[in-house]
């Protein structure tokens, strides 16, 4: 049958478009946005200054290779800048990886509650996303390996994972890698690595440095507070970096983003201040919400996943509506197959305390 209009490639119309966290609550004057895992402390003042300075020369194209930014990242982490590529957020790089390494008939594995960009990127190439079940809301290495077939070309691993906040130790990541065929690319998405304070965690740098089929993606949107600029980076084997550089846009990172990114990644004091704030309030929220009788999945990131009962009047959807009326915007995660949970970003002290107080009111208790 002859098509009567242009048709997208196989898989595109199977995609459920990504829906960002809400940022407004109708009828509410003061809003606390806790739906997108943004840092409550904002970016480094040095990054803001660097961003502003670029405004004097907006007529110039940015450096197409982001060389100064790659050099700065290399200095901070002790990496070869030639093995780094930058993008418009880490999701840009995830999509580029899918474009470069997946095609019709291929398969890419992600876990049940993994980042929604993974199946979107996979389907967009004509490949098939394969879901590996999790154990206690955590990636299960054995389940992932059991789903590897001759068609598998890529495995996406968010560590820590969004929206659950869980992580797997470095030994488990190495076990996963050791179990994969050499032609399968392991993509370690370490967007929240800077927040992790666990002795058995490693973001993936060591594994990338010693392997030919592992890459690690990072973002400036979280602890660095540059979400509005869309900036991310990837560390990988030279042959993978070469492939990505061949298909990425020639100016896929803006000049303001490059300047702000350099200043942000070099401001270690601001990062540590943000990390300390997160550590303090992550623990406080986990304990206080648990006191209300709600289960919180242990998180290593900058958010908590709060589980609600199925009882009418106490569901996640009803809690979300209750909180929204008070200007407290959390993230509904039904799209992540978690219909009875809400994800809450760690906010300011005021926001954190208001959420606990509101949840106590919602449950008919007092805090």
CATH number at 162 reads 3.40.640.10
- Together in a domain, 282 and 254: no
* Number of domains, the chain: 2
251 and 282 share one domain: no
Domain boundary among 240, 267, 294: 267
Strand partners, 135: 138
Residues 98 and 242 in one domain: yes
68 and 89 in a single domain? The answer is yes
Within a domain: residue 124?
A: yes
Residue 99 lies in a domain: yes
Task: Say whether both 219 and 299 belong to one domain.
Answer: no
- Residues 224-242 have a mean pLDDT of 98
Residue 246 has pLDDT above 60, yes or no: yes
**pTM confidence score:** 0.93
Residue 132, SS3?
Answer: strand
Is the pLDDT confidence value at 33 over 60? yes
User: Is 232 in contact with 93 (CB distance < 8 Å)?
Assistant: yes
Edge-to-edge strands, sheet with 152-158: 84-87, 232-235, 214-219, 185-189, 152-158, 107-111, 128-132
* Residues 134 and 227 reside in one and the same domain: yes
Structure confidence at residue 23 as a pLDDT band (50, 70, 90): low
φ, ψ at 157 (rounded to 5°) = -130, 110
pLDDT at 12 over 90: no
* Preceding amide of 163 cis, omega within 30: yes
Q: Specify if 5 maps to a domain.
A: no
Of 267, 283, 317, the one marking the end of a domain is 267
Whether residue 302 lies inside any domain: the answer is yes
Same domain, 293 and 260: no
pLDDT band at 65; cut points 50, 70, 90:
very high
* Tens of pLDDT, residues 168-189: 999 999 999 999 999 999 999 9
Per-residue model confidence (pLDDT) at position 347: 98
pLDDT the model gives residue 120: 96
CATH of the domain at 339: 3.90.1150.10
Query: Which residues are within 8 A (CB) of 169 and not within 5 positions of it... i.e. 6 or more apart?
Result: 198, 200, 201
**Average pLDDT rounded to a whole number, residues 231-259:** 97
pLDDT at 323: 97
**Is the domain of 245 the same as that of 288?**
no
* pLDDT at residue 333 in the model: 96
**Token duo for residue 57:** 């020369």
Instruction: Please check whether residues 29 and 146 belong to one and the same domain.
Output: no
Q: Are residues 189 and 297 in the same domain?
A: no
Question: Domain for residue 4, yes or no?
Answer: no
Residues 199-213: what's their mean pLDDT? 97
Instruction: Please provide the DSSP assignment of 159-216 as one string.
Output: SS-TTT-----HHHHHHHHHHS-TTSEEEEE-TTGGG---TT---SHHHHHT-SSEEE
Residue 186 in contact with residue 354, Cβ under 8 Å?
no
Residue 159 sits in the same domain as residue 236: yes
The range of the structural domain enclosing residue 357 comes to 20-42+269-362
Residue 80 resides in a domain: yes
Whether 9 is in a domain gets the answer no
Chosen domain end from 222, 239, 267: 267
Is residue 74 located within the same domain as residue 186?
A: yes
What is the C-alpha to C-alpha distance for residues 232 and 43, in angstroms, rounded to an integer? 15
């Amino acid at each position: 049958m002859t098509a009567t209009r242009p048709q997208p490639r196989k898989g595109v119309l199977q995609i459920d478009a990504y829906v960002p966290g809400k940022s407004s609550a109708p009828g509410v004057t003061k809003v606390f946005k806790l739906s997108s895992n943004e840092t409550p402390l904002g970016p480094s003042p040095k990054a803001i200054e660097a961003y502003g300075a670029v405004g004097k020369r907006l007529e110039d194209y940015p450096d197409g290779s982001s060389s100064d930014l790659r050099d700065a990242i290399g200095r901070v982490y002790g990496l070869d800048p030639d093995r780094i590529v930058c993008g418009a957020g880490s999701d840009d790089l995830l999509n580029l990886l899918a474009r470069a390494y997946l095609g019709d008939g291929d398969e890419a594995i992600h876990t049940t509650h993994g980042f929604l960009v993974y199946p979107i990127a996979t389907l967009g190439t004509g490949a098939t996303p394969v879901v590996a079940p999790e154990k206690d809301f955590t990636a299960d290495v054995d389940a992932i390996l059991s789903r590897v077939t001759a068609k598998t070309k890529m495995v996406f691993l968010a560590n820590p994972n969004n929206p659950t906040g869980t992580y797997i130790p470095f030994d488990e990541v190495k076990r996963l890698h050791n179990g994969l065929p050499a032609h399968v690319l392991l993509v370690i998405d370490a967007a929240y690595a800077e927040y992790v304070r666990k002795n058995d965690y490693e973001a993936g740098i060591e594994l990338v440095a010693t392997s030919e089929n592992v890459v690690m993606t990072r973002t400036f949107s979280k602890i660095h507070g540059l979400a509005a600029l869309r900036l991310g980076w990837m560390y990988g084997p030279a042959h993978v970096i070469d492939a990505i550089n061949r298909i990425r846009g020639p100016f896929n990172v803006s000049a303001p983003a490059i300047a702000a990114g350099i200043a942000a990644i070099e401001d270690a004091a601001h990062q540590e201040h943000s990390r300390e704030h997160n550590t303090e309030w992550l623990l406080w929220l986990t304990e206080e919400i648990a006191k209300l009788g709600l289960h919180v999945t242990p998180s290593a990131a900058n958010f908590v996943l709060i589980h609600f009962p199925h009882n009418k009047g106490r569901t996640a959807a009803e809690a979300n509506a209750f909180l929204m009326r008070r200007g407290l915007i959390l993230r509904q995660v039904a799209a992540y197959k978690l219909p009875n949970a809400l994800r809450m970003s760690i906010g300011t002290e005021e926001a954190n305390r208001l959420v606990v107080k509101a949840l106590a009111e919602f449950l008919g208790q007092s805090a």
